[in-house]
């Protein structure tokens, strides 16, 4: 059995979402993340149209919810607004046929870290209940590993959220690299992920710069962190993976990733 690898950009390569799906397919890529990071502005009708086109072309879609989310804000109103932004993303995701609804869950601020974790966890459980009642089948909430120490989203915290809520998760390898000040052990990361029994991993990848506080900027893919050792480890384990490029040149770096996988013997 060979691994199923799907690669693609975050965003629609400068075009609208519908044409972006077609363009990503023309490039020979297999996935695209629909970006709602500045707000959920897509209508349900367009989401359905884009979902139909993606299914026709065999494209896998995911969704990134808005950046302005803090499920553990000290302001209860902001907590509710954050939940609504995620649920609005999930509704569009359902009509898009997207499985993963990626989001940055919370910030610690001056709060107790365990209390922040429990608040975010409870809101994820509540949102999953709403998704079930709405019948948005196939949609999975996917908290992401974050690049700053001020945010909930270390690898262990993200895995714990998945274990305690049954939610999915998104591994941003650049964020983990920044959190660990330029060090990354792909084997250790994948060992921990596989304790969840997941047959599929949803990932982000790019270059990154960082400070003592963690992530500063996403950058073009290079050696910080290196991609080829990750590709080798994924293929060795025969993992199914969707890897979304979040670099400043998303589709170009997606093609670069594809070339590396092909050089390692993987056929798309």
| Coil, strand or helix at 74 | coil
Which of the 8 DSSP states describes residue 180?
Answer: T
Q: Does the model's pTM come out above 0.85?
A: yes
Nearest CA to 202 out of 144, 156, 134 is that of 144
Nearest CA to 221 out of 184, 242, 251 is that of 251
d(Cα 55, Cα 97) in Å, to the nearest integer?
A: 8
Contact (Cβ atoms closer than 8 angstroms) between residue 172 and residue 190: no
Which of the 8 DSSP states describes residue 10?
Answer: B
Contact (Cβ atoms closer than 8 angstroms) between residue 15 and residue 23: yes
pLDDT one-digit tens code per residue, 48-99: 999 999 999 999 999 999 999 999 999 999 999 999 999 999 999 999 999 9
Which of the 8 DSSP states describes residue 210?
Answer: E
Question: Cα 50 to the chain's mean position, in Å?
Answer: 19
Report the half-sphere exposure of 215 (CA within 13 A, side-chain side). Answer: 22
The burial class, CB within 10 Å (0-12 / 13-18 / 19+), for 14 is exposed
CATH of domain 5-263: 3.20.20.150
Q: Note down pLDDT in tens along the chain; length 268 residues.
A: 678 999 999 998 767 999 999 999 999 999 999 999 999 999 999 999 999 999 999 999 999 999 999 999 999 999 999 999 999 999 999 999 999 999 999 999 988 999 999 999 999 999 999 999 999 999 999 999 999 999 999 999 999 999 999 999 999 999 999 999 999 999 999 999 999 998 899 999 999 999 999 899 999 999 999 999 999 999 999 999 999 999 999 999 999 999 999 999 999 9
Tokens of 210: 């960082």
Name the residue with tokens 């077609």.
22
């Amino acid at each position: 059995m060979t691994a199923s690898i799907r690669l693609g950009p975050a965003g629609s390569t400068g075009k609208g979402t519908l044409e972006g799906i077609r363009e990503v397919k023309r490039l020979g890529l297999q996935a695209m993340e629909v970006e709602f990071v500045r707000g959920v502005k897509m209508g349900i009708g367009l989401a359905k149209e884009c979902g139909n086109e993606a299914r026709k072309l065999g494209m896998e879609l995911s969704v990134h919810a808005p950046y302005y989310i803090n499920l553990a804000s000290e302001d209860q109103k902001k907590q509710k607004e954050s939940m609504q932004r995620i649920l609005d993303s999930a509704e569009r995701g359902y009509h898009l046929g997207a499985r993963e609804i990626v989001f940055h869950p919370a910030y610690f601020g001056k709060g107790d870290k365990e209390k922040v974790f429990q608040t975010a966890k409870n809101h994820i459980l509540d949102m999953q209940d709403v998704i079930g009642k709405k019948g948005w089948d196939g949609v999975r909430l996917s908290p992401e590993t974050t690049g700053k120490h001020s945010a909930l989203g270390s690898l262990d915290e993200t895995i714990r959220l998945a274990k305690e809520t049954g939610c999915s998760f998104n591994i941003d390898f650049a964020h983990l690299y920044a959190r660990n000040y330029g060090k990354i052990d792909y084997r250790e990361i994948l060992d921990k992920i596989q304790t969840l029994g997941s047959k599929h991993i949803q990932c982000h990848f790019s270059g990154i710069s960082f400070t003592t506080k963690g992530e500063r900027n996403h950058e073009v893919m290079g050696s910080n962190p290196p991609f080829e050792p990750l590709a080798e480890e994924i293929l060795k384990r025969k993992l199914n993976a969707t890897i979304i490029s979040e670099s400043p040149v998303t589709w170009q770096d997606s093609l670069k990733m594809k070339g590396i996988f092909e050089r390692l013997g993987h056929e798309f």
